[in-house]
Chain A
């Protein structure tokens, strides 16, 4: 559905019409991605009692562009849309760059509306190496290959993960590369650099997480080369109510590499968080 018609802000609703009266899960994807990275989490939650809004961030896939230059501007854009959506109770779920957007959104919307935050493969600061950041601008095709290799568990394991995403017969590794290439083809080759520069420049992580009064769940990947687990520690330390789940053998693309692990952790957390807020 179009959460906002002009400029278009698209949200996948999990295969069901969106019902704003339900407790809502808002999914926020990472750099050079779109809503489809959540296929094995979003559709399940939509059919298990939640409203689902899996967004395409501005300038990504179906949402009008351009890609926004800062995490704060992404959060502002989405906050306005969520305020107008009618949903009163929500959990923000962000992956990588999306986890930083979730932090900012949590601060902007306040704990009455935001009843939980789930930060997946997060880091603060989310520093991007000079070489990679430079490559995203000067040679995005090569940068996508680097990111794709580093986004999966090491070596051959990335090609033999079970279950495959979104089902038997699929390749996690090549699907991720093709998705990044599609975003570049559809939205422009500058999206990749915009996203990675926004992550690299974001300064307010510790401040934003400290301001949260709702519970936060950190889902980390034990074999993450992009955002190693230790890089999430400053956020975990600054958070008032943090739960940490570390998924073994999984790389940065953990929604694809460990779809059930992410879904189960999210499902447990969502039930507790909404219940606690209602109490």
Chain B
């Protein structure tokens, strides 16, 4: 006997939104309001005390934003989601919900530069320390864990070398030590991988990237798989003890599977305030509707670009996990059978000047600091996204002065190959 849930493509279009009951609007309305009228005093008190479901103030929740959150939860197979002002805000919200000063994180060293800054410098100023480890070294994950460790963290595809995080193995280490695994799934999206199926407990995205796909809105989203047993761990008193800051609520008593999200919304959004605007949620929902179609095209185009570059005499190496030469090729086949995304790096032969000439000669690829746009993008990590990262850590993360990162878009693949061809030719004259 088999049963099935609605398919991914259907959920991407419909989850979280019935047609508007008031107007019949099929599209998700933008509820541009700061607050919501109470039916009466009892309704007001019940909403504030979490006795009833509903909206009070748009920093805490908003009907348009809730559609985005519930659609992302549906696609990720999570118990719920919280939309945030950016991907960085989502990462911050996850961390501050779980821990305070005196706590410790073990993180992959192959991270987006902004995440590295937050963990390595900014949070350290607030008493939260991080040990960075080689994501492929399972022994390093284990040996870095201390008694005050509260989180393991990595990217599904590391930035920029596309290290494939072995989520089943790393999550097993996390769970043996009574802590959850958080993953940044920005590069893969739920179309290419649903990390909760592999053992992750929390997932976040910079929704600015593939989720939106259009590069017009900054946003993030944090999804809880509902898989981690906070009570059994005994290490998360913020979730399992009464919280005087919110009616003495014991979040784990209120909800067996979602205490993390309850606290993150009722404390994190309330006090830190990094919420998403309904306009941004609307933009991101427009993108989300076509996520499966776009991601497939992103992957198809990327495979053609990777094949072209891998055979080109000007190219020293291409880091894409579908290539047998990539150290995580086997893991990619196991965890990412639909594809390894559309962001990857390669190393040009020749001097740093060759790299600069190549980037500046591109006509279809736009030179900017973003990924996951419908349009193809290019950047030089060592001088931009990762310029604050020390040289030895750059080297460990596989970044050299000649590394170029591409984000392959949805253009006609022939135009992309021709653009790369002419730019390589130009670069060869300066090499």
Contacts and interface: CB of A to CB of B under 8 A. Distances in A.
Contact of A163 (B54, B62, B79, B247): B54
B79 A166 contact: no
B256 interface: yes
Given A15-B247, A169-B81, A175 B17 contact: no
A113 to B, nearest CB: 26
Contacts of A34: 256
A170 B15 CA distance: 11
A34 B229 CA distance: 14
Interface stretch (A36-44, A67-75, A89-97, A227-235): A36-44
B261 interface: yes
B226 A165 contact: no
Nearest to B66: A168
Contacts, number: 146
Given A159-B6, A178-B226, A166 B254 contact: yes
A178 B79 contact: yes
Given A43-B49, A174-B74, A149 B4 contact: yes
Q: How large is the interface on A (under 10, 10 to 19, 20 to 34, 35 or more residues)?
A: 35 or more
Given A149-B3, A169-B66, A259-B53, A174 B254 contact: no
A159 B265 contact: no
A156 interface: yes
A135 B1 contact: yes
A146 B1 contact: yes
Contacts of A2: none
A63 to B, nearest CB: 12
A168 B247 contact: no
Interface string A238-264: 000000000000000000000110010
B326 to A, nearest CB: 33
Interface in B48-64: 49-55, 61-63
A161 B46 CA distance: 20
Given A15-B254, A159-B14, A169-B265, A40 B77 contact: no
A164 B63 CA distance: 11
Interface in A258-274: 259-260, 263
Interface in B9-50: 10-11, 14-18, 45-46, 49-50
Interface in A1-49: 12, 15, 34, 36, 39-40, 43-44, 47
7 contacts: A15-B254, A39-B254, A47-B49, A164-B70, A168-B63, A178-B225, A182-B257
Interface of A: 12, 15, 34, 36, 39-40, 43-44, 47, 61, 131-132, 135, 145-146, 149-150, 155-157, 159-171, 173-175, 178-179, 181-182, 185-186, 259-260, 263
